[in-house]
Amino acid sequence: MAEKLTKQSVDYPRWYQEVVLQAGLADYAPVKGCMIIKPYGYTLWENMQRELDRMFKETGHVNAYFPLLIPESFMKKEAEHVEGFSPELAVVTHAGGKQLEEPYVIRPTSETIIWDTYRKWIQSYRDLPLLINQWANVMRWEMRTRLFLRTTEFLWQEGHTAHATAEEAQDETLRMLEIYRRFAEDYMAVPVITGLKSEREKFAGAVSTYSIEALMGDRKALQAGTSHNLGQNFAKAFDVTFLNAEGEREHVWATSWGVSTRLIGAIVMAHGDDDGLILPPRLAPIQMVVVPIYRSDEEQETTVSAARALVEQLIRAGVRVHLDDRDQLRPGWKYAEWELKGVPIRVELGPRDVANASARLAFRVDREKRDVPLAELPALAQELLDETHRKLFDRALKFREENTFRVDSWEEFQERLDEPGGFLYAHWDGTSETEEAIQNATRATIRCIPLDDDLEDGVCVYSGKPSRRRVIFAKAY
Amino acid sequence: MAEKLTKQSVDYPRWYQEVVLQAGLADYAPVKGCMIIKPYGYTLWENMQRELDRMFKETGHVNAYFPLLIPESFMKKEAEHVEGFSPELAVVTHAGGKQLEEPYVIRPTSETIIWDTYRKWIQSYRDLPLLINQWANVMRWEMRTRLFLRTTEFLWQEGHTAHATAEEAQDETLRMLEIYRRFAEDYMAVPVITGLKSEREKFAGAVSTYSIEALMGDRKALQAGTSHNLGQNFAKAFDVTFLNAEGEREHVWATSWGVSTRLIGAIVMAHGDDDGLILPPRLAPIQMVVVPIYRSDEEQETTVSAARALVEQLIRAGVRVHLDDRDQLRPGWKYAEWELKGVPIRVELGPRDVANASARLAFRVDREKRDVPLAELPALAQELLDETHRKLFDRALKFREENTFRVDSWEEFQERLDEPGGFLYAHWDGTSETEEAIQNATRATIRCIPLDDDLEDGVCVYSGKPSRRRVIFAKAY
């Protein structure tokens, strides 16, 4: 704390790194590309986990736990999967003082070991659907890492479901995509676009990958969650079949879907400003902080005891509230610290406030100040937090709309991408060659083929060949 | 399911293995010594986590997350620690397609990487105490493994706290031991003895280790949780110092404490019988199962709709309840399955019960059957579950008392240990040599030096040398 943050406009990546470190979300680890998630960041993750887990369970999923280590040979059974993940694997070659006969890899994702297990668990259509989720750590040996956004080890959830029909698997894929969209918008206050990934960007081993895509404060895109229809790829690779109701043996249909601690990076970059984090109230570890203000011992007694009484009432009203009664620090210093940490609402309580039975609120989202009768605050609290959520979401949505462009020429594409950046809706001829050429020329990738967009005839911005619909290009994390 | 369990009296280890597999708690994994925690077992673990996590937070602890991998050199900084853990390490030598310059070990426990981090986080007495817990997977390459009791990978929590004084560290060590005792007794319904470990049995790197020790159904002991006073050992090894209030630089005082998925094994073996699991109601994934009974379509309609209404009311009363309305299975088959899975209370609803506005309860713990007015059941449910908890605990306590012996001669020691087994309170001369000799002769180890036992002069059962107090010997898992 105490150090001034680099301004976003001066050096956005540096601002990001400083705010993550100084706000106490995470720290660097003495292990290449890994991070330590500090208590403040981990509490945010716990709040995210709790809501996601509830949403998964409400849709019939249960949790289980599969091994961290995967026999190396398993990774090779699905051709695209091994190609996609091989370069990133961490390998255990020795254990218990001996060299292993077959090395193990640390899971980069668990499709292979889970589908090897499902072969034993699934015999008949009565065993389906199998709707399992796992909360776990995974490891991908990345070259360039960034706190939360891309770390060698990260925490995530991975759902792995098995179904009797292709239709059910597709329904599940879209159901979980929709849960991710709702979570991003209703809890993170981050508007997202749901869409289909191109062949080149899809998960290694999937038939099709869907994602939620968010726009960050620097106008770059962030893939915030993915849901894969795996078809029968893993069932065939691991020979998982079932007897259907007609007594015929069929391969099982599959999905997998996941979100990770990367979402914390999304929250930081979607909402943060030059003074630090702005946390969405439904996930914030501390929703309100109460700061008593005083100049004399007498005033201290008055304001601190009023603050204590208020905090107790707020706790009873279900608010995650913190009393900052540290005596050695000035109020202004405390304000700056809680702003850095992104606490949605600060409650200032001075002697005059107490005398007036009033509290002065300061909203982190827009710096509005508002006086509220002390007695009414507990009953009002949830509404004020909801109001803050809406403001945050609306601002992020407005920002995205202002930075979304329909571009129809290659010149415009390049110019817009350069300045200001953002989401470019453009026609594309549907080939991986063009996609690659565009990426090589501009570093932009296809974020997704949006689900809610109408078909529209046009010509590819790059090749001039015919196109049936626009897709979204952007520079991305 | 469906296969008959081996009787406990015939082959207890085999009974254990069968009940874990058949009740759906866990499955074998294709990775040496690892297991897959199945949804039923994982839900039990989630329920345990929720209560423990609450108890940790109520005592001021917060969660954080440290890396899975630890640089090999870290393990060598504390002399006893490296000696204790080296033989069990899994080592990552390759990653990202290359050989690593320094290998990483997969954490067997996180003291080293956490104390390396605390060096950065702790500067002054104002940074203390630091009360952090981590929920994580760890890995110890064990030679002989057993589902839940000893697996290569297991899930656990590990608390790592830092304090300004030796007294505070000792207080914390005992505070967490007491939380473990309360959790074991009030949630698992497993009575435990709290005590100090001998030098030979203490944690590698601790000044002193305390444990909770439980007696299993085969009269063997299970160490169910440990709390370590680490003194300044890790602070010195990792050079973690702080400025005290007097402006002097001192090394920090430490504790660590943990419980793991091993506790699931403790529940299985403390309560289970020849028909399967008996789960403690406060942790059971399903606390009550409702089984409608019918012979005709008309009866089916009556009983299933009454069952549905009851289940809704029970859910509203906060009961984790399951409706077993599977049509293809006979009630007797369902009863056997839910007995195997250890559901505390079964509710049978036949046409006559519905007509009488009554439900027949069957208690798993003692097979008591009791008719209860249907309308009163939701309001009674928590009380009935509490009653079941008490019965389970009391039975386990009685069993332990019946299998606890004060032995005063070496002959008696050997005889009792052989038949029936149990906890032997015996005098010991306090030397590691005698402890080792007793273990070599009988396979019994000192489980602990109990905290609540009076001093009593006597002579060592093995060496005849003077002793000031009795300690507990037992064969152990």
> At B173, is the secondary structure helix, strand, or coil?
helix
> At A360, is the secondary structure helix, strand, or coil?
strand
Confidence check: pLDDT of A135 > 70: yes
Closest CA to B141 of A74, A86, A97, A405: A97
Name the residue among A30, A66, A153 with its Cβ closest to that of B68.
A153
* Contacts with B96 (C-beta within 8 Å, 6 or more apart), sequence order: A87, A88, A89, A90, A141, A143
Name the residue among B36, B96, B120 with its Cβ closest to that of A66.
B36
pLDDT at B459: 97
* Residue in B closest to A90 by C-alpha: B95
Cβ of A143 within 8 Å of Cβ of B96? The answer is yes
- CA of B98, closest CA in chain A: separation in Å? 9
Element (H, E) at A415: helix A410-418
Name the residue among B68, B89, B103 with its Cβ closest to that of A137.
B68
| Mutation for B interface: A44, A66, A143, most B CBs within 10 A | A66
Confidence check: pLDDT of B5 > 90: yes
Cβ of A31 within 8 Å of Cβ of B117? The answer is no
Closest CA to A234 of A249, A251, A250, A248: A251
With contact defined as beta carbons under 8 Å apart, do B105 and B90 qualify?
A: yes
What percent of chain B is modeled with pLDDT above 70?
100
Half-sphere exposure of B342 (CA within 13 A, CB side): 30
Confidence check: pLDDT of A3 > 80: no
With contact defined as beta carbons under 8 Å apart, do A226 and A211 qualify?
A: yes
Q: Which two tokens stand for residue A184?
A: 């991003």
Name the residue among A42, A65, A96 with its Cβ closest to that of B155.
A65
Mind listing the pLDDT tens digit for each residue in B53-75? 999 999 999 999 999 999 999 99
Confidence check: pLDDT of A37 > 60: yes
pLDDT at A2: 55
Q: What's the longest Cα–Cα distance across chain B?
A: 84
Cβ of B96 within 8 Å of Cβ of A137? The answer is no
pLDDT at B3: 72
The mean per-residue pLDDT over the stretch A138-167 comes to 97
The pLDDT mean for chain B works out to 97
pLDDT at B2: 55
Cβ of A67 within 8 Å of Cβ of B120? The answer is no
The mean per-residue pLDDT over the stretch A334-342 comes to 98
| Mutation for A interface: B72, B75, B92, B153, most A CBs within 10 A | B92
Which residue stretches of A187-318 are H helix?
Answer: 233-237, 262-271, 297-316
> At A109, is the secondary structure helix, strand, or coil?
coil
User: Distance between CA A286 and CA A176 in Å, rounded?
Assistant: 28
Mind listing the pLDDT tens digit for each residue in A452-467? 888 999 999 999 999 9
Confidence check: pLDDT of B351 > 70: yes
Which residue ranges make up each domain of chain B?
12-271, 288-390, 404-474
User: Distance between CA A235 and CA B57 in Å, rounded?
Assistant: 43
pLDDT at A196: 98
Name the residue among B67, B92, B137 with its Cβ closest to that of A36.
B67
Model ipTM value:
0.97
Confidence check: pLDDT of B476 > 70: yes
* Residue in B closest to A151 by C-alpha: B67
Confidence check: pLDDT of B128 > 60: yes
Count interface pairs A-B at CB distance under 8 A: 155
- CA of B227, closest CA in chain A: separation in Å? 22
The mean per-residue pLDDT over the stretch B366-391 comes to 98
The mean per-residue pLDDT over the stretch B200-213 comes to 97
Provide Rg for chain B, Cα atoms: 25
> For residue B143, which residues of chain A lie inside 8 Å, CB to CB?
96
Which CATH class for the A288-387 domain?
alpha beta
The mean per-residue pLDDT over the stretch B229-256 comes to 97
With contact defined as beta carbons under 8 Å apart, do A178 and A194 qualify?
A: yes
Confidence check: pLDDT of A1 > 60: no
B12-271: CATH topology is BirA Bifunctional Protein; domain 2 (3.30.930)
* Residue in A closest to B132 by C-alpha: A39
> For residue A117, which residues of chain B lie inside 8 Å, CB to CB?
27, 29-30, 36
pLDDT at A67: 98
Q: Which residues pair with A466 in a beta bridge?
A: A459
With contact defined as beta carbons under 8 Å apart, do A105 and A75 qualify?
A: yes
User: Distance between CA A360 and CA A290 in Å, rounded?
Assistant: 10
* Residue in B closest to A112 by C-alpha: B30
Name the residue among B31, B65, B103 with its Cβ closest to that of A155.
B65
B404-474: CATH topology is Translation Initiation Factor IF3 (3.30.110)
What's the full length of chain A, in residues? 477
* Residue in B closest to A50 by C-alpha: B50
Name the residue among B65, B94, B137 with its Cβ closest to that of A93.
B94
* Residue in A closest to B46 by C-alpha: A63
Cβ of A137 within 8 Å of Cβ of B63? The answer is no
Mind listing the pLDDT tens digit for each residue in A51-75? 999 999 999 999 999 999 999 999 9
Which CATH class for the B288-390 domain?
alpha beta
With contact defined as beta carbons under 8 Å apart, do A139 and B94 qualify?
A: no
Mind listing the pLDDT tens digit for each residue in B401-446? 999 999 999 999 999 999 999 999 999 999 999 999 999 999 999 9
Residue B183 — very low, low, confident or very high, per pLDDT cuts 50/70/90? very high
- CA of A134, closest CA in chain B: separation in Å? 10
- CA of A458, closest CA in chain B: separation in Å? 42
The mean per-residue pLDDT over the stretch B117-130 comes to 97
* Residue in A closest to B66 by C-alpha: A36
Cβ of A64 within 8 Å of Cβ of B42? The answer is yes
